[in-house]
Amino acid sequence: MKTLADLLAEGVAGRRVLVRADLNVPLDGSVITDDGRVRASLPTLRQLTEAGARVLVAAHLGRPKGEPDPKFSLAPVAARLGELLGAEVALAADVTGPSAKSTVDGLADGRVALLENVRFEARETSKDETERAAFAAELAALLGENGAFVSDGFGVVHRKQASVYDVARLLPHYAGGLVLAEVEVLRKLTTDTARPYVVVLGGSKVSDKLGVIANLLAKVDRLLIGGGMAYTFLKAQGHEVGDSLLQEDQLDTVRGFLKEAAERGVELVLPVDVATAERFPDFGAASQPAPVVVPVDGIPAGRMGLDIGPDTEALFAAKLADAQTVFWNGPMGVFEVAEYAGGTRAVAKALVDSSAFTVVGGGDSAAAVRLLGLPEDGFSHISTGGGASLEFLEGKELPGVSVLED
């Protein structure tokens, strides 16, 4: 796999370099609520601009429906990127249209420009290879002669999409610093892992993450489950879960996990108490539904579990205390609201206090670490890619990484 260092050694002064970055930040209207991904993209961009490259960045934001939608414009990101780089970042009004072409024409050596949201173009995510390839060819054509592609959006390398995968097949391609660092860290989690190896899973994308569990059971010593996915496990064990997040259709699968964990001697640790509410919080509101902590065998009908309780915080911390390797994905509760952030803070703190090799993966988990004011350097690595890091740990091939290896 060629890397950014190889590209810099070849020389990039005056060359147009397309960088696929992950700038998919959380927004409140047009205000960026966590700019971690923008900041994470800076080292690669700076190395290129300092070497005199003309850097064109391709990125997505949210899930627009394959057509322009002002709600998902990268304008706030262009502004923030410009602030952080200390130089204005021009934003094209389209992806590969006339505005993109004139933006690229106006790009000086050592400067950065941003294309509008690549997902404003339906061909970006098309399942049809020919459509994707045609769009990728338009992206590549923006660079003219002697262009190069740097893949630096680790959060998207598990996707076979035009700006991630197809464009790499058309241009000389290099792994950016971020992708390289992520792959190196994750390899440490899959080979010669120091034990005990403990994985903590939470969050709300339950059905996405159940697949991961099947794979992890063969690899870990302990699996701690909190967040929204815990309730499907609790229900599978016979507890009533009230209005909590529940994947009814996955109960059999989850019973299978419980059985397999027991057979393999993997400790599967579930909450013993949870903080419940009468309704789901409204993040913007001044006051929130009051939490009532109950044991997991006492979740009343009409209430929902929104965080792990204090006994579970202590239990999870104890299960993390002697770990040598920890991977954590998914908040333990609705951390966006102070009333339900305690469990996530407790797990984050246990990782900060631990001397283990600790990796945090997942957009919301990484955002939670920052939002709750924990020191980012208290973790060995904070991954920018949730889905990508999980798929890597599962042992799946990441198309956006494999394509760089050819």
- Residue 333 partner contact from ligand ADP, Mg ion, none using kind-dependent CB cut-offs of 5 to 8 Å: ligand ADP
**Judged by CB under 6 A, which of 203, 271, 289, 400 binds ligand ADP?**
203
How far is Cα 187 from Cα 181, in angstroms, rounded to an integer? 10
The C-alpha atoms of residue 53 and residue 332 are separated, in whole angstroms, by 43
For 121-159, give the DSSP string: SGGGG-S-HHHHHHHHHHHHHTT-TT-EEEE--GGGTTS
- C-alpha pair distances (Å), 404 with each of 152, 165, 389, 393: 11, 9, 17, 19
Backbone phi, psi, residue 197, to 5° = -105, 115
**Per-residue x/- marks for ligand ADP, 352-371, CB under 6 A?**
----------xxxx------
Question: Is there binding between residue 34 and Mg ion (CB under 5 A)?
Answer: no
The closest residue (CB) to Mg ion is: 364
Does 334 interact with ligand ADP (rule: CB under 6 A)? Answer: yes
By CB under 6 A, which span of 150-158, 294-302, 326-334, 395-403 interacts with ligand ADP? Answer: 326-334
One of 227, 242, 342, 399 touching ligand ADP (CB under 6 A): 227
Identified catalytic residue from 153, 202, 361, 363 = 363
Among this protein's residues, is 363 annotated catalytic?
yes
Binding of residue 204 to ligand ADP (CB under 6 A): yes
| 363 interacts with Mg ion by CB under 5 A | yes
Is the alpha carbon torsion for 161, 162, 166, 171 positive or negative?
A: negative
Nearer to Mg ion, 153 or 363 (CB): 363
**Stretch of 135-143, 169-177, 185-193, 203-211 contacting ligand ADP, by CB under 6 A:** 203-211
Catalytic residue among 37, 80, 119, 345: 37
DSSP category for residue 187: H
Residue number with CB closer to ligand ADP (126 or 312): 312
326 residue type, one letter = V
**Judged by CB under 6 A, does residue 212 bind ligand ADP?**
no
Establish if 306 lies at the interface with ligand ADP (CB under 6 A).
yes
Q: Which is nearer to ligand ADP, 121 or 391 (CB)?
A: 391
Residue with tokens 């010669």: 192
Biggest alpha carbon distance in the chain? 67
The length of the chain is 406
Q: With contact defined as beta carbons under 8 Å apart, do 314 and 277 qualify?
A: no
Nearer to ligand ADP, 354 or 365 (CB): 365
Q: How far is the CB of 27 from Mg ion (least distance, A)?
A: 14
> How many CB atoms sit inside 10 A of residue 138's CB?
17
Q: Which two tokens stand for residue 303?
A: 């209430």
Would you say 47 or 244 has its CB closer to ligand ADP?
244
CB burial string 319-337: b at 16+ within 10 A, e below: bbeebebbbbbbbbbbbbb
Which is nearer to Mg ion, 242 or 281 (by Cβ)? 281
Interface ranges with Mg ion (CB under 5 A): 363-364
Active-site annotation, residues: 37, 205, 363, 387
Interface ranges with ligand ADP (CB under 6 A): 202-205, 227-228, 245, 305-306, 329-331, 333-334, 336, 362-365, 386
